[in-house]
Amino acid sequence: MAKLRIRVDQDKCQGHARCKSLAPELFELDEYGNAHEAGDGSVPEGLEDKAWLAQTNCPEIAIEVTEE
Amino acid sequence: MSDSASARFLPEHPPVKDWIHDFDHTDPVWTEDPFPIWEELRAASPVVHTNRFLGCYMPTTYQAVKEIAYDTEHFSSRRVIVRDVRPEITARAPPITSDPPEHKPAKQVLLPPFTPDAMKKLEPRVRAICNELIDEFIDDGGCDAAARYTKNVPVRAIAHMLGIPEQDGDLFIKWIHGILELGIKSEDALMNAVREMTGYFMVHLEERKKAPGDDLISKLMQAKLPNGAPLSDEHVLGSLRLLLIAGIDTTWSAIGSSLWHLARTPADRERLVAEPELMPSAIEEFLRAFSPVTMAREVMKETTVSGCPVKSGNMVLLSFPAANRDPAMFPDADKVVIDRKENRHAAFGLGIHRCVGSNLARMEMTVAIEEWLKRIPDFRLDPAGKVTWSEGTVRGPRQLPVLFGKKA
């Protein structure tokens, strides 16, 4: 499986926090509850499904998943 | 809230005969079962219009709802409830009634107390509230779950957060009924409720000026806007009105609709008991299928939405619940699929006005349903009783008679 990288678009994120609930390993919330990709956004092996799950449940379509 | 004593004084709207050109979200047919109506409207046009409510549009598709929610240039939030009347705007409730640029600082002040981590700290108290409530009726073999359970969970939780007496819950319910239901058709009912509520909170503000606590009211009073200025009393009062109004009916409805569904659907109930790991996706699906909250916007400038012209001076009934039933967005939109994998529902809104209490609502729903299922895994609607639904802006069961234990 290709290596995945995620990024949360800060202009789009409104803090629904669906990603944090679905993939807590991959996202961090700031003091306002807005989401950021954890670390540099690279998705550890085995968490690819969770990355896609977060992406497909974000109401604001704020999460980009790219294959490297 | 079927308050028959006060409902008598409501001016009657003529019954709707033509939904597509004359819709009315307070019509009893809509209140009872809006889903077929939304389907009919969606099939007719992405945006429909009624001359009721001094002129009002309704986007019927997910796409049209989204376009309006994202367009703060043409659509203002200064009025967020579609009413018969358009009273002068005096009692603001920032940030829900704010537009850019005032919106962002007003919202940022409210966000930190409502993050998922903050909710985790509140969760044990909510779990205890749920069990205290269940203790009161579990031996009776049945109850009106709307009056005895689903209402009281959010009332007590928000009172706990704000640091106001949980026993004042009946007052809160009365004001909310005045603002969200009676106030659609009666300016007096609206203004009286706002006045009483403001007076109530002013007393709490004065108390905290003398002796600040660590509750949310005190935190708001100590909060600073990005320019370093404290919030005015008027701003704090407005936000408190918002938190109380938005924090009770909504979650009451969401928990109630979830229990209503589970009471009628033994397969989902049994599956949730057997597979509690499905709870998060089930909660999101209940939020999608039974979204309680319909918001509003006011058209400020002429524009088009999904190709349909909209003219200023009209209101917009911004139905996130209808968006969430759009089959173009959700396969099997009219089915409740508790393990739905892809669910970009808009129950908490889209864009800058995303519900500030969404993490609180989710936590309350999850805890309320978990604790209910732990203690009352088997229950059904009481065939001798009647389920009734609230009218207008927030939809959920206001009477929910259920049987359980030996009677189930």
- ipTM of this model? 0.97
Distance CA A65, CA A51 (A): 7
Distance CA B295, CA B69 (A): 10
Q: Which of residues 335-364 of B touch A (CB under 8 A)?
A: 341-346, 348, 350-352, 354, 358-359
Distance CA B205, CA B93 (A): 16
State CA B323 to chain mean position distance: 15
Domains in chain B: boundaries: 41-83+97-404
Asked whether the beta carbons of B194 and B241 are under 8 A apart, the reply is yes
Distance CA B353, CA B97 (A): 9
Which one of B67, B104, B285, B344 would you mutate to disrupt binding with A, by most A Cβ within 10 Å of its Cβ? B344
Chain A interface includes B36 (CB < 8 A): no
Other beta carbons within 10 angstroms of residue B16's beta carbon come to 20
State the pairing for strand pair B142-144/B401-404: antiparallel
How many residues does the structure list for chain B?
A: 408
**E strands, B119-160, in order:** 142-144
| Eight-class DSSP state of B25 | T
CA A65 to chain B, closest CA, distance in angstroms equals 15
Q: Give, for B159, the enclosing helix (H) or strand (E).
A: helix B152-162
Other beta carbons within 10 angstroms of residue B199's beta carbon come to 10
**Residue of B358, B353, B359 lying closest to B107 (CA atoms):** B353
Between chains, do A58 and B344 touch, taking CB under 8 Å as contact?
yes
**Residues of B with Cβ-Cβ distance to A16 under 8 angstroms:** 348, 354, 358
CA B356 to chain A, closest CA, distance in angstroms equals 9
Res B181: pLDDT:
86
Chain A interface includes B284 (CB < 8 A): yes
Q: If you measure CA to CA, which chain A residue comes closest to B349?
A: A59
**Residue of B137, B129, B154 lying closest to B254 (CA atoms):** B154
CATH architecture observed for domain B41-83+97-404: Orthogonal Bundle (1.10)
Other beta carbons within 10 angstroms of residue B357's beta carbon come to 23
Res B396: pLDDT:
97
Between chains, do A16 and B341 touch, taking CB under 8 Å as contact?
no
Res A68: pLDDT:
85
Q: Give me the residue from A14, A31, A57 closest to B351, CB to CB.
A: A14
- Helix or strand or coil: residue A63? strand
Tens of pLDDT along B314-336? 999 999 999 999 999 999 999 99
Distance CA B328, CA B39 (A): 12
Tens of pLDDT along B367-388? 999 999 999 999 999 999 999 9
Tens of pLDDT along A23-45? 999 999 999 999 999 999 999 99
pLDDT along chain B (408 residues), means of 10: 42 92 97 98 98 97 98 96 84 89 93 96 97 97 97 95 92 90 87 93 96 94 90 92 90 98 98 97 98 97 98 98 98 98 98 97 98 98 97 95 88
Res A1: pLDDT:
64
Q: What is the mean pLDDT of residues A50-55?
A: 98
Which one of A9, A10, A14, A31 would you mutate to disrupt binding with B, by most B Cβ within 10 Å of its Cβ? A14
State CA B64 to chain mean position distance: 21
User: Omega of the bond prior to B95 within 30 degrees of 0, cis?
Assistant: yes
CA B111 to chain A, closest CA, distance in angstroms equals 5
Chain B interface includes A36 (CB < 8 A): no
Between chains, do B354 and A29 touch, taking CB under 8 Å as contact?
no
Residue B139 contacts by C-beta under 8 Å, 6 or more apart in sequence?
B405
Res B286: pLDDT:
98
Res A51: pLDDT:
98
Asked whether the beta carbons of B153 and B130 are under 8 A apart, the reply is yes
Q: If you measure CA to CA, which chain A residue comes closest to B348?
A: A16
**Residue of B392, B405, B348 lying closest to B53 (CA atoms):** B392
Between chains, do B354 and A16 touch, taking CB under 8 Å as contact?
yes
Between chains, do A17 and B116 touch, taking CB under 8 Å as contact?
yes
